[in-house]
Amino acid sequence: MADVRKHNANRKVVLSLCVTALAMLGLGFASKPLYDTFCRVTGYGGTTRVAEQMSETIAEREIKVRFDANVASDLGWTFKPDDVAITVKLGQNALAYYTATNDTKYPIVGTASYNVSPIKAAPYFSKLECFCFTEQRLEPGETVSMPVLFFVDPEMENDKRLDEIKTITLSYTFHLAPNPSEDAVRTAQRQSQLDKLEALKLDPEPANNTTDTQINQQGRG
């Protein structure tokens, strides 16, 4: 009888260990997308928020937004911002551009990751449209324009911790897509998205005054 109880106890221990191992394995697979989702919602780790609609409020405070571009060594692209920096008001919807060129003689599919610095400003940087986390296919020698539609949340003005911040840097890094799909964005789809963004009315309707913007809202800055 004692042997039976000992066997059952050992069996429970083995089952518990197996369940724990499977749970940890599942968490390992899920942790990356869960972490990415958490970062996008909260702005944690320098990840920007993803906004569902354009800003309707513009504050008087101005801030400079710098644009940074990086390329993984194995990609074979040239990638850079059209403007190093622009100055916007908090809540101002702004359209910025990056340019990418495939310097090789064969098609390449790349994907871009991004972050914002300083990290504590990331929750207030809201992207409406961009090319990040979407497979982008460039044909041999092709040069394309990649737009980013964004605004800096006017609520930032109420966060006293950020009073000293005068500049926010948006940084993208393009990597070679390891297993590119057939759904990668191509020239026609990219141009259609660009035309759609450039046709948007970025400024909200003024009440009694007009907003003095410092960038060309309907075209390249």
Q: What is the CATH number of the domain that holds 174?
A: 2.60.370.10
List the structure tokens of 3: 């042997």
Q: Above 60 in pLDDT, residue 99?
A: yes
Q: Above 90 in pLDDT, residue 221?
A: no
Q: Is 165 inside a domain boundary? A: yes
Q: Is 129 inside a domain boundary? A: yes
Query: Looking at residue 132, what is its pLDDT?
Result: 85
* Number of domains, the chain: 1
Q: Is 7 inside a domain boundary? A: no
CB contact at 8 A, 153 and 91:
yes
Q: Above 70 in pLDDT, residue 23?
A: no
Q: Is 25 inside a domain boundary? A: no
Q: Is 44 inside a domain boundary? A: no
CB contact at 8 A, 149 and 129:
yes
Q: Is 155 inside a domain boundary? A: yes
CA distances to 8, 14, 201 from 1, in Å: 11, 20, 81
Which residue, among 90, 46, 45, 42, has the nearest Cα to 65 in the 3D structure?
Answer: 90
Q: How many residues does the chain have?
A: 221
Per-residue pLDDT, averaged over 87-104, amounts to 97
CB contact at 8 A, 152 and 169:
no
What's the chain's average pLDDT? 79
Range of the domain at 131: 49-198
| Start-to-end C-alpha separation, the chain | 83
Lowest mean pLDDT among 30-44, 54-68, 75-89, 144-158: 30-44
Q: Is 212 inside a domain boundary? A: no
∠106-78-124 over CA atoms, to 5°?
Answer: 125
Q: Is 65 exposed, middle or buried (0-12, 13-18, 19+ CB in 10 A)?
A: buried
Q: Is 3 inside a domain boundary? A: no
